[in-house]
Structure 1
Amino acid sequence: MSQQVRGVVARAKGEPVGIETIVIPDPGPGEAVVRIQACGVCHTDLHYREGGINDEFPFLLGHEAAGVVESVGEGVNEVEPGDFVILNWRAVCGQCRACQRGRPWYCFNTHNARQKMTLTDGTELSPALGIGAFAEKTLVAAGQCTKVDPAASPAAAGLLGCGVMAGIGAAINTGAVTRGDSVAVIGCGGVGDAAVVGSRLAGAAKIIAVDIDERKLATAASLGATHTVNSREKDPVEAVRDLTGGFGADVVIEAVGRPETYKQAFYARDLAGTVVLVGVPTPEMKLELPLLDVFGRGGALKSSWYGDCLPSRDFPLLIDLYLQGRLDLDAFVSETIALDGVEDAFARMHKGDVLRSVVVL
């Protein structure tokens, strides 16, 4: 039988979100119902509310989540009821050309639950990133559930579901940061700070955090940045070069998603260095670079989707590092809130007052 739960819904562009009753169907083939324990408030959820992703309102928001599998549908063998899981928004298909070539982290046919969750009047909901976890329970594809050690704090573990994984993966998976590298991270919000942490995990010798907010730079330093640059006060390209012997960083991670900061990243890297774009641009943004510079500087210009992660590989590994005290996921949790605190959390996030607010149920 279907069941009814509370969830945070955005009904129209720019309107405040509200708590509504959500109808969760029984899981069908390949699906799972998960009881949510915690879900981070990510900027992507605000993008949904503002119509910046698409206009498929109403949205059931929330996607950085951890919880316990309650029930599964026919044919599910990845997880079973009682498993503690982190939800992901890229359940790999195993059949596309990327998967068949042994590169499932690039899967071109990721999927979500086939059934729709609805409001009580039958209105179909669009779950944020195919998850919809600002709710007591949600319906997902079973492949969106990654089993991890239940000793982990749900509030911390859930953040691997999006922003923290995106940043760590941008450094380790996409940027291939390794021992002794110099790294610059432009933009020190949640994703940028996670890139700092990922660079430190990978053994980078020098990690330069760049932002316009001294509070964010202080946080980046506490998480492992060896140097900070306030780009309101200094040209970030010159500053990064000055800190790297005049050459530029081996890897520059752009975690803002704007043409201006991308150009800074491009020119702040060493010859044959790597630029990683993990910040999400908006559709109208355009980038113009001299093609001769693109050719002459060599190296690689990469985009990082979800940190090029493979959840089944990366989530358990990172949770193990967390439980060993080698990865401080708790540092990303600025506050815990109830379901009815999401709208206020959006305002605090927009002002830069928090790294992550986390809904705890």
Structure 2
Amino acid sequence: MSTGTIDASNVYPGDIIRFVTSIPDAVSFYTGHNHPSGVEAFSTADHHITRQIAEYAENLSFEYSGMFAIGDSNYSFMKEADLDDVYPLPKPEKKHEVELLEHVIEERGRLLDKTVSNPDDALSVVNRVSEGRDGIILMDNRHYPTAFIPVDFSKAKKLAGTKEANRILASVTRANAAAAIIKTSGEHEYALNVSALLDKADIRVLDVFQGSQSLKMSGVSTERHHSSLFNIRSLDQSIDSIAAESSLSALQEDALTDVFGSRPKNQKIIDRKLREYFQSRYTESSESPNVRAFVTEQMRQLRQSGALKKLSEAYFKNQLSFGLNDGIARHPIPAEKAEAAIRRVLG
């Protein structure tokens, strides 16, 4: 990835992310470097770049497993930027053979012989390249369009840890893109989440077009920092994701939204409020002959699925933010959820 000079190395986290996304089905990666001085201890710069790489890799489908620094007889390793240990270098027991990989560079050319230098140019390029489709127009460092990625932006509200995020970043890598314009016919908040994803690959988003309307000309910033890719997720998004993973019913998902939205102080309050919620929604049936059996079964399913434990742990570790995230996490919610939120506020 980088050779650097005799006593330093230039490392670009965005390039590392591009490289990893180009490897199909990658699940984790390490980074490492040698110290020509022979001293294995990490420098302040090593801690800084490790923290940066970890931040860039956050919320993608693969994990950053840590950094190595190789000295004369020992090596240092850290998974987290503030924690490192020293280990003796093991002696290799035998030689290892590694297959050679060949990279073939293809000249793809440009989609149009037209550069983007102002909003009118951008709209013209968007219309000609997208042909009415939603997606991302990728450009080289001189802002000539080089590739188009079709995107279903209804999926873009949940890019964190998804194959769709990998597909987009891998396409960016193949196109060797430096900049992009996003075109959507739907909610521009979802397009701005894609902008946060592109920042992980150090792609400059020049503009976002909602239909033919330029967000930049409307005064909306179209560049989003990669940390806003639902690094801190909203209540609805977090519960929606956990509910889908755990195959929860609509009633159970609504119960979690209502209870956690009230900002409970401890697990005992969460359990009590969940029981009260299910009790208030009980309707007699052959499957649930009485309210007690109904509530007990709903709580059993929440616990057995792991959803209640997962959401509670994230909530109390402050990994979730139950509020608006700079407009990025905003999306329409059903009327009944909005009414429930208003009732909670008004008491």
TM range (shorter): under 0.3
Q: Which has the higher contact order (CA 8 A, sep 6+)?
A: 1
- Which is richer in helix? 2
When Rg is computed on C-alpha atoms for both structures, the one with the higher figure is 2
- Which is richer in strand? 1
